């Protein structure tokens, strides 16, 4: 078992297990839209969010180009089966309409299960090996959300807790700043963070028909749209505009 994380600087979410803009399988969840449509948005391990449309018969339709099947498990949660046969099961958590990841299984049925304490992931267990990862959470100084402060393995030798492998995580507010392993205490992985804008990702998440950032190079005679599906049909003609005179939004 291992901890894998994906970073996306354009992801404005700060409530991930490992801090702002980081995503992992431990952050997966299925969330019911609160607009009464019954649609469900699934967060993938890489941070991608995919909305499945709810049909009148109780089935769900994936977005165009997505081969995946989402089914409701009564009122207790959902099961997502991806194109490669990987199955993700989500069950009810402490937050209404939010269903965190409960298990993941490959096409051969090899599974990992996840348990929670007070709404926070506490253990991830590989059902084949029987070994687990154990998660410790804390709310860093200045943070708006709690994050994982340590991940430890089962004892490597019998029940001797001194043989655990323990990874620790440090934060500045909600930003991950450092990860340390026992063999790397003098050479931890350090992360630097700079101030940026999440305006583009927020706008794009709203699925606009057109969106111009006006970040075109100096001397441009037109403004390109961020909506690639339009294939340039919505290119804008600027009036009294100077490109590259300020950072793009």
**What whole-number distance in Å separates Cα of residue 110 and Cα of residue 175?**
34
Residue 224's nearest CA partner among 201, 199, 248 is 248
| Amino acid 139: pLDDT | 97
| Amino acid 9: pLDDT | 84
Q: Grade residue 33 by pLDDT with cuts at 50, 70 and 90.
A: very high
Alpha carbon 50 to its chain centroid, in Å, reads 11
| Amino acid 202: pLDDT | 80
Please report, for the chain, the start and end positions of each structural domain, with discontinuous segments joined by +: 6-190, 197-249
| Amino acid 249: pLDDT | 57
- State yes or no: pLDDT of 204 exceeds 70: yes
Report the share of the chain in percent with pLDDT over 90. Answer: 59
**What whole-number distance in Å separates Cα of residue 31 and Cα of residue 137?**
23
| Tens-digit pLDDT profile for residues 135-185 | 999 999 999 999 999 999 987 766 666 667 889 999 999 999 999 987 656
User: For all residues of the chain together, what is the average pLDDT?
Assistant: 89
Q: Per the structure block, which two tokens stand in for 89? A: 């099961």
- State yes or no: pLDDT of 47 exceeds 60: yes
Own/partner contacts of 164-173, CB < 8 Å, gap of 24 or more, are 167/3, 169/18, 169/19, 170/140, 171/19, 171/140, 171/143, 171/147, 172/140, 172/142, 173/140, 173/141, 173/142, 173/143, 173/144
| Tens-digit pLDDT profile for residues 210-244 | 998 888 888 888 888 889 888 889 998 878 777 77
How much is the pTM? Answer: 0.77
| Tens-digit pLDDT profile for residues 57-106 | 999 999 988 899 999 999 899 999 999 999 999 999 889 999 999 999 99
**What whole-number distance in Å separates Cα of residue 53 and Cα of residue 42?**
11
| Amino acid 77: pLDDT | 95
**What whole-number distance in Å separates Cα of residue 182 and Cα of residue 164?**
10
């Amino acid at each position: 078992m291992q901890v894998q994380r994906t970073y996306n600087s354009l992801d404005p979410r700060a409530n991930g297990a490992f801090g702002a803009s980081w995503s992992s399988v431990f952050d997966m969840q299925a969330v019911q839209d609160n607009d009464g449509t019954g649609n469900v948005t699934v967060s993938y391990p890489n941070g991608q969010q995919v909305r499945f449309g709810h049909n009148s018969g109780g089935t769900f339709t994936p977005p165009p180009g997505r081969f995946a099947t989402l089914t409701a498990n009564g009122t207790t949660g959902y099961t997502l089966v991806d194109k490669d046969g990987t199955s993700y099961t989500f069950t009810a958590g402490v937050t209404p309409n939010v269903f965190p990841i409960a298990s993941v299984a490959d096409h051969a049925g090899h599974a990992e299960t996840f348990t929670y304490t007070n709404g926070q992931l506490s253990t991830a267990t590989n059902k084949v090996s029987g070994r687990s990862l154990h998660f410790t959470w804390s709310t860093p100084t200045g943070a708006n959300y709690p994050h994982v402060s340590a991940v430890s393995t089962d004892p490597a030798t019998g029940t001797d807790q001194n043989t655990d492998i323990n990874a620790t995580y440090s934060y500045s507010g909600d930003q991950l700043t450092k990860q340390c392993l026992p063999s790397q205490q003098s050479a931890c992985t350090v992360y630097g963070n700079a101030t940026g804008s999440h305006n583009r990702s927020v706008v794009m998440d709203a699925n606009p028909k057109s969106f111009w950032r006006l970040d075109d190079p100096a001397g441009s005679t037109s403004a390109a749209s961020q909506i690639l599906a339009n294939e340039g049909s919505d290119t804008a003609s600027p009036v009294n505009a100077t490109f590259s005179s300020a950072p793009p939004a």
